[in-house]
């Protein structure tokens, strides 16, 4: 059984990637949350699922956040922040959203494993989540390392926001869905 070997491998690689992040980049990303009118987020596949989880927690903190592609998402405009998530930095639909966001004069933050990708080149700020460079296809097929790493990265950003905002879990719970 390789279950524990896989868990150890994933945690080690994700920890290395998170440890390698520049705190100035993280701070710049967080500051952009407080400088924008509204936030939007987009990713596809498992990156999209991590993005939606992050959006939910940002909403619990009281931010105006929308998931692109949902029917209730308004038009992106000047003063807004678009957060895009793509391991490769080349995903077609993500690239299209980036280009449209730039045309609408939104600030663009990109979380990717490929800083110098076409998506990274469009960004106002790139968060280089360099996790999937040396992957083991048996333990982490496809984009597993990046996708799992993105989810953990986003949870760490939420913890940082909790601290900076003086928020509590109780106040977050008050914004949580009550009709479950």
- Which active-site residues does the annotation give? 147
The DSSP H or E segment spanning 111 is strand 107-112
Q: What angle do CA 18, 21, 24 make, to 5 degrees?
A: 140
Q: What angle do CA 167, 170, 173 make, to 5 degrees?
A: 105
Which residue has 């957060």 as its token pair? 83
The DSSP H or E segment spanning 41 is strand 39-43
Who's near 21: CB < 8 A, 6+ residues apart?
127, 128, 129, 153
Nearest-CA neighbor of 171 among 34, 33, 66, 62? 62
Q: Give CA–CA dist 19/25, Å, rounded.
A: 13
Q: Is the distance from CB of 109 to CB of 84 less than 8 angstroms?
A: yes
């Amino acid at each position: 059984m390789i279950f524990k070997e896989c868990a150890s491998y994933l945690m080690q690689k994700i920890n290395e990637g998170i440890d390698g992040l520049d705190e100035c980049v993280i701070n710049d990303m967080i500051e952009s949350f407080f400088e924008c009118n509204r936030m939007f987020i987009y990713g596809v596949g498992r990156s999209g699922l991590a993005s939606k989880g992050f959006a939910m927690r940002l909403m619990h903190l009281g931010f105006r956040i929308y998931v692109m592609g949902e029917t209730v998402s308004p038009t992106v405009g000047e003063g807004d922040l678009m957060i895009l998530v793509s391991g490769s930095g080349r995903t077609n639909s993500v690239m299209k959203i980036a280009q449209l966001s730039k045309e609408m004069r939104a600030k663009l933050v990109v979380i990717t494993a490929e800083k110098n990708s076409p998506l990274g080149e469009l960004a106002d700020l790139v968060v280089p989540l360099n996790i999937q460079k040396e992957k083991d296809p048996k333990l982490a097929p496809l984009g597993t390392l990046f996708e799992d790493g993105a989810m953990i990265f986003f949870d760490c950003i939420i913890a940082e926001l909790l601290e900076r905002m003086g928020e509590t879990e109780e106040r977050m719970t008050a914004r949580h869905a009550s009709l479950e």
